Structure 1
Amino acid sequence: MKLGLSGRLTQATLHSPLTPLFLLAAIAMGLLALMSIPREEEPQISVPMVDIMVAAPGLRAPDAAELVAKPLETIVQSIDAVDHVYTQVEDDQVLVTARFEVGEDPDDAAVRVHEKVRANYDRIPVGIPEPMIVTRGINDVPAVVLTLSPEPGAADRWTDQALYDIALKLQNEVAKVEDVGLTFIVGGRPDEIRIEPDPERLALRGVPLSSVIDTVRQANRSFPAGVIREEGQAVQVAAGETLRSAQAVGLLTVASVDGEPVYLRDVANVVQAPREDQARVWRYAESEDGWRQAPAVSLAIAKRKGANAVVVAEHIHERVETLKGSLIPEGLQVSVSRDYGETANEKANELLFHLGLATVSIVILIGFAIGWREAGVTAVVIPTTILLTLFASNLMGYTINRVSLFALIFSIGILVDDAIVMIENIARHWAMKDGRSRTQATVEAVAEVGNPTVVATLTVVAALLPMLFLH
């Protein structure tokens, strides 16, 4: 009988003293990979999406579509590896999104879009500002969302402006955590200086609106003017200053039609107050009196590419706990609205539990049907194979996510079936009692079952290789 690759490999390792060492090394490497492999909710599938945002002041949606959107679509469609182009047009603004093929590098895609748009900028009408190009990817999805809201008894002492200030400070502290990516705040109203021109007072004083706009724009400027050295010290000098209060803005002088200087506060209402948003965030909590409404602010936190979502989420929670009582005052609670690290860890642990349950079930089945010695071999082979798979995944930079978990669940059935068939065939050859030794019977049994499997696997790989190179 021709042994083939499987038979020769079995013959070489069956009585080799290195086989137990390889087995122990495989288990050790697999256990290390199991503890260190990153766990996350979403798979690291590279499908770059590049947003091209263009401001088109004064253009209605139909005009912006003809003058700005269509030329941009033509430019973007000429870029290599662009799969789809999506356009959204509104009054005074245009958004063109380029979706690249799977596997393209996001940074390279953004560079190609930027170079192509700059090289063909003459196709866009004169007066349209330069587009803003932003790359979107799977790593922009927040892994952790923290919501700040007052406790039921302190709801009257907190406003959304105060919550925004706390969230802004918390954002700066959370950004110091290792492997934290982009962060942004949802809800709350930051403080701003708002100028509300009064048409009647403008007409009464003879002040055009353009004069108000130019005055505020020119007054709110500051730039370095040089260095002054005196008494052995160097002092940076700045010309102009930025406007810091509503009172300072109100004391600006604007020119009227007849040249008479007029204070800005005489022709406009200058207010320093929270920003007027169209949307607000509220949190509803159940109390003894029923449901109560309170303002809330959410801090969304993404992780870096390839980072372990479980570890990043744990470090964020630890950082927040250390800030309670100092940056986060009493009467303010921090609730977790989203935690992809916790869900990813739960799914990974559930998979490992089911893998262990399947292994134990197969071991018991083989123990009663064939023998407990064969069952012991199965109890060692299946976990070792799974651990080696995790080690190889970690070595190649893969993570445990919903896609890789599905692949492991799918492969465990094939692995268990192969182990049962192999053990049954070895037991069948042992039971023949045709004068062969158990070693020779084992080698021929493995060759009989293993060679077709190896040939089929190599055939599939050979068929897939050209497709991979062409892709």
Structure 2
Amino acid sequence: MSRFNLSAWAVRHQALVLFFIVVLAVTGAWSYTKLGRNEDPSFTVKVMVVTAVWPGATADEMNRQVADPIERRLQTLPWLDYVKTYTRPGFVALQVVLRDDTPPADVGELWYQVRKKVGDIKSDLPAGVIGPSFNDEYSDVYIAVFTLTAPEAKEADLVAAAERVRMGLLRVPDVEKVELIGEQARRIFVDISNAKLAQLGLTPQTIVDALSRQNAVVPAGFYDTRSERVTLRVTGALEGVEAVKAVPVAANGRAFRLGDIAEVSAGLEDPPSFRVRKTGERALGLAVAMKKGANVIALGEHLAVAAEALRRELPVGFELSQVTNQAEVVEEAISEFLFKFAVAVSIVLVVSFLSLGLRTGVIVALAVPLTLAGTFTAMLALGIDLQRVSLGALILSLGLLVDDAIIAIEMMVVKIEQGWERAKAATFAWESTAFPMLFGTLVTAAGFLPVGLAASSTGEYAGGIFKVIAIALIISWFVAVIFTPFLGLHLLPKSLEAKAKRFGHDEHAIYRTPAYERLRRIIRLAMRRKRMVVAATLLLLVGAGIGLKLLPQQFFPSSTRPELLAELRGPEGASFALADAEAKKIEALIADDPDVAWYTTFIGAGAPRFFLAFNPTLPNPNYALVLIQTRDEAARERVHAKLLQQAGQAEGAATLRVSRLELGPPVGYPVQLRVSGTELADIRRTAEDLRNVMRADRRTRDVDLEWGERAKTIELKVDQDRARLLGLDTSDVALALQMLLSGYEATQVRDGTRQVSVMLRAAPEDRMALDRIGDLVVATRDGRAIPVSQVARVAYGAEDPIIWKRNREMVLTVRADVAPGVQGPDVTADLLKRLPAEMKPLPPGVRIEAGGAYEESVRANGALFAVFPLMVVTMLVLIMIQVQSFSRTVLVFVTFPLGLIGAVAALLIAREPFGFVAILGVIALGGMIMRNTLILVDQIDQDLANGSSISEAILEATVRRARPVVLTALAAVLAFIPLTTNVFWGPMAYAMIGGLTMATVLTLVFLPAFAALWFRVGDPGAAETKAEAAA
């Protein structure tokens, strides 16, 4: 009984095959239209933020009393990598960071565990602590950010209009949520003079109590009748300024309206905690998040329509602008990739036409859309969108997916030229090379296995490379063995039969042309000088290994998006006003720059996450971000240089950092060194020493400390005995001082969905300069007014306004940007080597660790190489199944590293860095090379089975396989060319171009030489027996 032949089945059932071709083409075209569009593949940001507020507490108290108990509790969380804690007076934020290999499916359950664990200790926290609060939506990406401006409008009117816009945007299909950002909180201020308090015998606490009692929401009960229950309500809760004015306050047996003894007015939070400006004008932001699985381009179109309709409804003077538009970026990126894709397809087709002839080339050309149709269908079924990684993988696969079609049709052409009938020739590829092609395809796909199975955020980000290429390659094999024979049967030219008559029945005549004879002489020479060829190849491999050390190391490159980030940080303890003033200087610098389309300023906190790799900055009054939208990439670079020059010349109160957006998982500063320990003084001294070393390095710029400056403080040391004699305690003094200086929140008025704080403050004439704080007057319980200096001593000092910790250890990060053309991992690695010689010995308990791009690169590469053994085992198993011989397996596998030679040379010539994506390319090269080797070794075995000597089998098999090997390599190499101009894929493209080119040459030279050496073949001209081929 003959073995099943899929190609023969296709020839026998031509109508069914044609039907499948049409169905596949239609399904593929439909699937392409339904595929999601995104800028980048999604990956899980494994970070949750826990915050708590304790008004009046110092940074040290927040650290010891609030942060430390939470940190201890979180240390029991499964999959925890570290907890990074940021503490400042009255506020703490803990970033709970999971291990990079945490399964994305488990993240939701882990965030529930965080809430549960922290909630369990909430009662153990000090009285007065507000929270903890949890933000597990920290990783949400806002695909569009709008701003609403109205220079002449009041804040309340601007907020009301923004709310209407927000509701309108929420009605757009596939919008998940719309966040209103930059709203300045409304306040009701109660200003009362110290003289009035003393005159009436009032204390601030009396007023606070009166407001709290009036505003309390207390159930009044209910009354049950025979048929229904009637609930009783008591009115009187505060609802506005007039209600606050009418609150009765008792003093010395008399009752006064609060409005009669104090100035009650409505206003805004002062100073503000967060503010947004659009091109210098006060604005409110609206950040739009998309539902999972939606098409960002389609949503962008719907948002544009909705925004235009909302603009028409806005009052005169209100302007709604879109400041970030991911849909536009995605559309441009996909258009660029589709253009590169079309160029790559054209290149492959031209190679096919020129090398195989017009009609034969058409058959190979038709294999491309058929394979892509199947790939798009599988991508839709697996939920893989069109984005940076999947589109690049499609272009990479283009040069590979025609390999099987070229091999199959080339084999068919050869057999027809040798005199075979067309139908029989169409089925020969299955008999001869179908399974070597299949296992070669699987080996090639296995070359991308490390990135597909890497347990890391980087693997999650780039894992689509493996999925898309594996799908395309497997489908290309089915196209080659089913559809290609069918197409060849109908489309190959009749002239092939005429050529067969010219050659007669000599099957080897077509391999005796001058070109093949020259190749045969080269191969014979390589086999004769086999030791020299193998030794030379080994030397080239050693040289490539040395060359790797010369290549700059990179994690991921910067994005080509036109946005620039100008970040300003004032000294620790600096005010919101300082950050605002420094931001205005940057705005003035770029306001009239023709390269700048617009700019949006965020003061007091960072922008929302408008880009996957952008990490929002936590609230901080000394921080400002100017998000600059330039007109194109070239304009971005000009503005970048201009701002860097400004940063170098300015002597402002804030440091300026200018950066581009990153690709891949977010890193921040490319060079980061963490100094950690237990004694803050030792940590600070070591960090300052390290900063000096880094500043002396020409490759770094803008070196600074993440924190470390001490802030001024005024401490009132209360004489407790004297205070008690006067009827005062510490809380009375603190309340009076807070009222006199910044205001005290007495209660909250409910206004629709918002809470408006009622702030009790001293009258303006009683608010004094800091140098006269001892003269501030506080009222005793019996109504006397006394200066603070009578019960407390004023002391001036300094404290650490913020504290950063990592896993409960204090950590101070020294960070820096790098000069153009310099890679962060290279600088970090060099610094780690030099530090012992250039720094003072580290104090006991202090250590220095690498962070930034170096740490992320090491972590990502570690996850990649952790899967490397599995990849090697998978390849060996596949090869062994096919060749079923240890010696043949070694013969195939020994070609795995050959691509490294050309890859390193190409990267050095092109001056491209050796980053994560380039490493993927070098690893995957091994599978591509072994694919050709596997088919070649199978051909050697077929020749041996037909009676050839081992020497003749090696020589003639190499000659016969040379044409398809060169053609497939040429198609792949040329298809990679469009990717060389892409900042993300460029290094991989160069590595693959160089690697495949060199490996193709070595496959035709090194492999015969090594086979001759391995099988102890003597002079190729000598007679040898098949027995010499024994393993």
Question: Which structure's residues are more often strand, by fraction?
Answer: 1
Give distance in 1, aligned partners of 2:452 and 2:340: 33
Relative to structure 1, the CA distance from residue 462 to residue 146 in structure 2 (aligned partners, 3 Å threshold; closer, same or farther) is closer
Structure-2 change in CA distance of 1:297 and 1:458 (3 Å): closer
Aligned residues: 449
The corresponding residue for 1:149 is 149
Matched, 1:391 2:377: yes
1:48 aligns with 2:46: yes
Deviation at 1:240, TM superposition (A): 2.8
Instruction: Supply the distance in 1 between the matched residues of 2:282 and 2:216 (Cα, whole angstroms).
Output: 35
Structure 1 residues 94 and 19, CA gap change in structure 2 (3 angstroms) = same
Task: Give the structure 2 partner of residue 38 of structure 1.
Answer: 36
Equivalent position of 1:250 in the other structure:
245
1:195 aligns with 2:190: yes
Matched, 1:352 2:338: yes
Q: Hey, what does 1:57 align to over in structure 2?
A: 55
1:365 matched to which residue of 2? 351
Cα distance between partner residues in 1 of 2:452 and 2:269 = 58
Which residue is 2:326 aligned to? 340
What is the one-letter code of the residue matched to 1:12?
W
TM-score of the pair, normalised by structure 1? 0.83
Tell whether the 8 Å contact from 1:61 to 1:89 is kept in structure 2 after alignment. yes
Counterpart of 1:22 in structure 2 is 20
The answer to whether the Cα contact below 8 Å between 2:300 and 2:327 also exists between their aligned partners in 1 is: yes
Confirm or deny: 8 A CA contact 2:197 2:203 kept in the other structure: yes
CA change 1:223–1:406 in 2 (3 A) is farther
Shift of 1:278: 4.9
Is 2:234 the partner of 1:273? no
Write out aligned runs for 1:71-150 (5 A): 71-100=69-98, 101-121=102-122, 124-125=125-126, 128-138=129-139, 140-150=140-150
Contact 2:311–2:320 at 8 Å: present in 1 too? no
Give me the whole-angstrom Cα distance separating, in 2, the residues matched to 1:462 and 1:146. 41
Aligned pairs (5 A) from 1:163-174: 163-174=158-169
2: CA distance between counterparts of 1:44 and 1:238?
Answer: 51
Unaligned runs of 5+ in 2: 456-865, 868-1031
Could you tell me which runs of 5 or more consecutive residues in structure 1 were left unpaired when the two chains were aligned. Answer: 285-292
Matches within 5 A, 1:303-314: 303-314=290-301
Matches within 5 A, 1:199-348: 199-222=194-217, 225=220, 237-256=232-251, 258-276=252-270, 277-284=272-279, 294-326=281-313, 328-348=314-334
Whole-angstrom CA distance in 1 between matches of 2:442 and 2:128: 66
1:81-132 deviations in Å (ceiling 9; x for gaps) = 2223111111112111212235144432221111222334466445544411
Seen in structure 2, the aligned counterparts of structure 1 residues 169 and 199 have a Cα distance that, compared at 3 Å, is farther
Q: Secondary structure at the match of 2:142?
A: coil
Distance 1:86 1:427, change over 3 A: farther
In structure 1, C-alpha distance between the alignment counterparts of 2:415 and 2:9, rounded to whole Å: 19
RMSD over aligned Cα, in angstroms? 3.5
What letter matches 2:310 in structure 1?
L
User: What is the alpha-carbon distance in structure 2 between the residues aligned to residue 59 and residue 443 of structure 1?
Assistant: 78
Cα deviation, 1:305-362, whole Å, max 9, x if unaligned, reads 2222222222222222223333x13443322111111211222233223222322232
Following TM superposition, by how much is the alpha carbon of 1:252 offset from its aligned partner in structure 2, in angstroms? 0.7
In 2, the alpha carbon distance for the partners of 1:147 and 1:431 equals 70
- Deviation (angstroms), 1:219: 2.1
Displacement, 1:446?
4.4
Structure 1 letter corresponding to 2:443: A
- C-alpha offsets along residues 19-41 of structure 1, whole Å, 9 cap, x if unaligned? 22222222222222211222123
The answer to whether residue 425 in structure 2 is matched with residue 427 in structure 1 is no
Contact preservation (8 Å) 1:188, 1:280: yes
- Distance in 1, matches of 2:155 and 2:405, equals 61
CA distance in 2 between counterparts of 1:440 and 1:78 reads 63
Q: Is the CA contact 1:53–1:131 (under 8 Å) kept in the aligned structure 2?
A: yes
Report the CA distance shift for 1:391/1:325 in structure 2 as closer, same or farther (over 3 A). Answer: same
Would you say the 8 A contact 1:47–1:102 is kept in 2? no
**Shift of residue 224, structure 1, vs aligned partner:** 6.0
The aligned amino acid for 1:112 is Q
CA 1:408–1:86 in 2, change beyond 3 Å: closer, same or farther? farther
Q: Secondary structure at the match of 1:41?
A: coil
- In structure 2, the CA distance between the partners of 1:19 and 1:229, relative to structure 1 (3 Å rule), is same
**1:215–1:252 Cα contact (<8 Å) kept:** yes
Q: Partners of 1:445 and 1:355 in 2: how far apart?
A: 32
Distance in 2 between residues matched to 1:355 and 1:462, nearest whole Å: 24
Partner of 2:394: 408
In 2, distance between residues paired with 1:463 and 1:168? 48
Q: Which has the higher contact order (CA 8 A, sep 6+)?
A: 1
Quick one: distance in 2 between partners of 1:346 and 1:220?
55
Give the counterpart letter for 1:305 in structure 2.
K
Change (3 A) 1:227 1:32: farther
Query: Residue 37 of structure 1 contacts residue 394 of structure 1 at CA under 8 Å; is this kept in 2?
Result: yes
Q: Which amino acid aligns with 2:257?
A: Y
Contact 1:196/1:269, CA 8 A, preserved across alignment: yes
User: For structure 1, which segment, 301-310 or 374-383, has the greater mean C-alpha deviation from structure 2 after superposition?
Assistant: 374-383
Matches of 1:243 and 1:400, distance apart in 2: 55
- Which whole-Å CA distance do the structure 2 matches of 1:229 and 1:67 have between them? 48
| Counterpart-to-counterpart distance in 1, 2:59 and 2:37 | 44
How has the CA–CA distance of structure 1 residues 185 and 267 changed in structure 2, closer, same or farther, with 3 Å as cutoff?
A: same
Separation in 1 of the partners of 2:304 and 2:284? Answer: 17
Q: Secondary structure at the match of 1:381?
A: helix
Q: Give the partner amino acid of 1:302.
A: A
**For residues 361 and 102 of structure 1, do their structure 2 counterparts lie closer, same or farther at Cα, with a shift above 3 Å needed?**
same
What TM-score do you get using the length of structure 2 for normalisation?
Answer: 0.40
What letter is aligned with 2:66?
V
Rounded to whole Å, the distance in 2 between the matches of 1:191 and 1:125 is 28
Tell me the amino acid that sits aligned with residue 69 of structure 1.
A
Give the match's secondary structure for 2:162.
helix
More moved, 98-107 vs 24-33:
98-107
Q: Distance in 2 between matches of 1:200 and 1:408?
A: 78
For residue 977 of structure 2, what is the aligned residue in structure 1?
Answer: none
When structure 1 is superposed on structure 2, of 235-244 and 353-362 the one drifting more is 235-244
Offset of residue 463 of structure 1: 9.2
Partner residue of 1:290? none
Offset at residue 393 of structure 1 (A): 2.1
| SS of 1:133 mapped into structure 2 | strand
SS of 2:50's equivalent? strand
From 375, 380, 388, give the equivalent of 2:366: 380
- Cα deviation per residue 1:235-268 (whole Å; 9 max; x = unaligned)? 8653234322212201112233x34323322443
Alignment partner of 1:443 is 2:440: no
In 1, the alpha carbon distance for the partners of 2:201 and 2:403 equals: 90
Q: Is the 8 A contact 1:192 1:272 kept in 2?
A: yes
Of all paired residues, the percent bearing the same amino acid is 24
Comparing 114-123 with 56-65, greater Cα deviation is found at 114-123
Give distance in 2, aligned partners of 1:102 and 1:175.
32
In the superposition, relative to structure 1, how do residues 181 and 163 fare at CA in structure 2: closer, same or farther (>3 Å)? Answer: same
Per the TM alignment, residue 222 of structure 1 is displaced from its structure 2 partner at its CA by 4.0
